[in-house]
Amino acid sequence: MSAQTTARPGAREVSLGSIGDLRARGRAVVEIDGVGIGVFAIGDEVRAYLNICPHMGGPACQGKIMPRTLEVVSDTKQSLGLAFSKDDLHIVCPWHGYEFDMRTGAHPANPRIRLRPVPVRVVAGEVRVSVGGT
Ligand code: FES
């Protein structure tokens, strides 16, 4: 596993416990220095985002996690109905239902709308997020 984003100069790392615990729970939503952060174990990967929805500031990281819904289309471009993705997971903001890709933080219809990533990495089995800095 690698860092999701680069920590800012002057940032400090905060331990959130073991990767085993995070994997068992799937997510942790924590508050560090008054900032809400959601941390997620997605397969072998770890992601962290500010718990602030880009729509209206809702607690997006506390939303339901579900597979992406896809429309299945035939060779003749006719809809064959809906199905769940086997690869992509979304988190759904509990306030108004905006969805975000768990791995990228991006809204599926408009990637400019996205959750703000927080640098996170796993060191010797310990999940660490970077906070603060300039
Ligand atoms: S605040 Fe998240 S969808 Fe509106």
Full-model pTM:
0.90
Per-residue pLDDT reduced to its tens digit, 13-52: 999 999 999 999 999 999 999 999 999 999 899 999 999 9
- Residue 23, domain CATH: 2.102.10.10
Distance (angstroms) between ligand 1 centre and the Cα of 116 equals 14
**Residue 3 covered by a domain:** no
- For residue 7, being part of any structural domain is answered with no
pLDDT tens-digit readout, 66-89: 999 999 999 999 999 999 999 899
Q: Give residue 52 CA to ligand 1 midpoint distance, Å.
A: 9
User: 89 lies in a domain?
Assistant: yes
> Pseudo-torsion of CA 19, 21, 25, 30, nearest 10°?
-80
Residue with tokens 């560090």: 32
* Cα atoms in the Cβ-side hemisphere of radius 13 Å centred on 60: 28
Domain count, the chain: 1
Residue 68's domain comprises: 12-131
Task: Please state, rounded to an integer, the average pLDDT across all residues of the chain.
Answer: 93
Give me ligand 1 centre to Cα 107, in Å: 11
Residue 4 forms part of a structural domain: no
Q: Which atom of ligand 1 is nearest to the CA of 60?
A: 2
On whether residue 5 sits in a domain, the answer given is no
Instruction: For residue 51, tell me if it sits in a domain.
Output: yes
Ligand 1: residues within 6 Å at CB? 53, 55-58, 60, 93, 95-98
Cα–Cα distances in angstroms (integers) from residue 39 to residues 31, 42, 82, in the given order: 11, 10, 29
